[in-house]
């Protein structure tokens, strides 16, 4: 019997069993254990809601079925879920392996004809344009798993046409403005760093002892690690109303907006090697910003504009 047909029969086979084992599949379909295992993998890929139970008297079982309408979710909720899914779809890589086609088809299947028409019509009229993802990031899953399970990774990281090796302990991953980033502790440099995931060209788990105290660090409190170094420079800039809007559109955790005597300022600190980045960022404010301090930042910005003028 060929595989696709066998897989389909398996779907039906498992569907009227609450519980089955590899043995069952092996006997039922006359295949080896290895093949049965691979078939299970194929079933999962298709989207069968099975899960494994380890150990003696273990086996496979079916998950609670997630019932869609009319039972659980109302139309509004279904629309919201549908569009949430569509928004996610615009990522080309995700830290979970998901077949959007499969989710999409499942969704549409569960809907009534009129709901389907509603979605069809709404679909043409609403969109979430986040910046599209620019480069694929291949190792998201391994980075995420390392963060969750507190593992240390050895990665190859590409920077300015050079590739170096780093030993890192990932803390979290996040998506921002078209790129995936990984917050991590660099074991060699003994410092917290952020890596752009598409520049990580390989990643493998090592046996190196992780820092135990990272366990409790999550996305929410990770910023506490970012103590500016002793070389960090404080800056302060006056911004007008437009500048405030721009700040809200583009801002970074280390930069804050404050209100002081009828005026708005943005303040923060930067490491000396980040000055080019800061200059680029501040220039985005155009006329809506005025650097108060330090003087060197003013000087650098002046230099930046002068260079640009000469380059036109």
Binding site residues, DNA, CB under 7 A: 2-4, 6, 21-23, 30-35, 37-40, 42, 52-60
* CB contact burial 267-294 (16+ within 10 A = b; e otherwise): bbbbeeeeeeebbebbeebeebbebeee
In the window 25-44, what residues touch a second copy (CB under 8 A)? 42, 44
Residue 134 found at the interface with a second copy (CB under 8 A): yes
Residue 242 found at the interface with a second copy (CB under 8 A): no
Q: How far is the CB of 167 from a second copy (least distance, A)?
A: 19
In the window 136-165, what residues touch a second copy (CB under 8 A)? 144, 147-148
Cβ of 120: how many Cβ atoms within 10 Å? 10
**Interacting partner of 249 out of DNA, a second copy, none (Cβ under 5 to 8 A depending on kind):** a second copy
Q: Pattern of binders to a second copy over 165-204, x per CB under 8 A?
A: ------xxxxxxxx--------------------------
Of the candidate residues 32, 33, 108, 194, the single one contacting a second copy (CB under 8 A): 108
Is 278 in a helix, a strand, or coil?
helix
When the beta carbons of 116 and 300 are compared against DNA, the nearer one is: 116
DSSP 76-99: HHHHHHHHHHHHHHT-S--SS---
- Are residues 165 and 186 in contact, defined by beta-carbon separation less than 8 angstroms? no
**Interacting partner of 311 out of DNA, a second copy, none (Cβ under 5 to 8 A depending on kind):** a second copy
Of 18-26, 59-67, 225-233, 267-275: span binding a second copy (CB under 8 A)? 59-67
Cβ of 88: how many Cβ atoms within 10 Å? 14
DSSP element (H, E) containing 3:
helix 3-15
Long-range contacts (CB closer than 8 Å, 24 or more residues apart) made by 304-308: 304/279
**Interacting partner of 194 out of a second copy, DNA, none (Cβ under 5 to 8 A depending on kind):** none
The encoded tokens of residue 54 equal: 């380890």
Which burial class, exposed, middle or buried, applies to 13 when counting CB atoms under 10 A from its CB (0-12, 13-18, 19+)? middle
Residue 79 found at the interface with a second copy (CB under 8 A): yes
Q: Pattern of binders to a second copy over 249-288, x per CB under 8 A?
A: xx-----------------------------x--xx-xx-
CA–CA separation, 293 and 267 (whole Å): 10
CA–CA separation, 53 and 66 (whole Å): 20
When the beta carbons of 59 and 69 are compared against DNA, the nearer one is: 59
Q: How far is the CB of 215 from DNA (least distance, A)?
A: 18
Residue 228 found at the interface with a second copy (CB under 8 A): no
């Amino acid at each position: 019997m060929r595989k696709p047909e066998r897989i389909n029969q398996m779907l039906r086979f498992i569907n009227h069993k609450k519980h089955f084992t590899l043995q069952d599949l092996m006997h039922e379909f006359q295949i080896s254990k290895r093949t049965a295992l691979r078939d299970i993998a194929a079933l999962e890929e298709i989207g069968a809601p099975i899960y494994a139970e380890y150990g003696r008297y273990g086996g496979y079982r079916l998950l609670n079925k997630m019932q869609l309408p009319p039972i659980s979710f109302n139309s509004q909720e279904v629309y919201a879920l549908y569009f949430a899914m569509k928004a996610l779809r615009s990522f080309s890589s995700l830290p979970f392996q998901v077949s959007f086609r499969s989710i999409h088809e499942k969704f549409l299947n569960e809907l009534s004809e009129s709901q389907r028409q509603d979605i069809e019509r709404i679909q043409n009229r609403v969109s979430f344009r986040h910046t599209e993802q620019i480069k694929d990031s291949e190792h998201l899953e391994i980075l995420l798993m390392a963060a969750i399970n507190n593992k240390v990774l050895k990665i190859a990281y590409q920077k300015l046409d050079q590739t170096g090796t780093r030993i890192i302990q990932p803390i979290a991953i996040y998506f921002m403005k078209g790129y995936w980033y990984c917050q991590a502790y660099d074991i060699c440099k003994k410092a917290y760093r952020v890596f752009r995931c598409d520049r990580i060209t390989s990643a493998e788990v090592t046996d190196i002892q992780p820092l135990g105290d990272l366990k409790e660090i999550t996305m929410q409190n990770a910023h506490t690690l970012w103590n500016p170094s002793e070389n960090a420079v404080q800056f302060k800039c006056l911004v007008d109303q437009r500048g405030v809007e721009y700040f809200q559109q583009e801002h970074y955790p280390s930069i804050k907006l404050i209100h002081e005597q009828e005026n708005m300022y943005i303040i923060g600190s930067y490491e000396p090697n980040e000055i080019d980045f800061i200059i680029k960022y501040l220039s985005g404010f155009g006329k809506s910003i005025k650097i108060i301090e330090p003087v060197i930042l003013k000087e650098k910005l002046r230099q930046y504009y002068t260079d640009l003028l000469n380059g036109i």
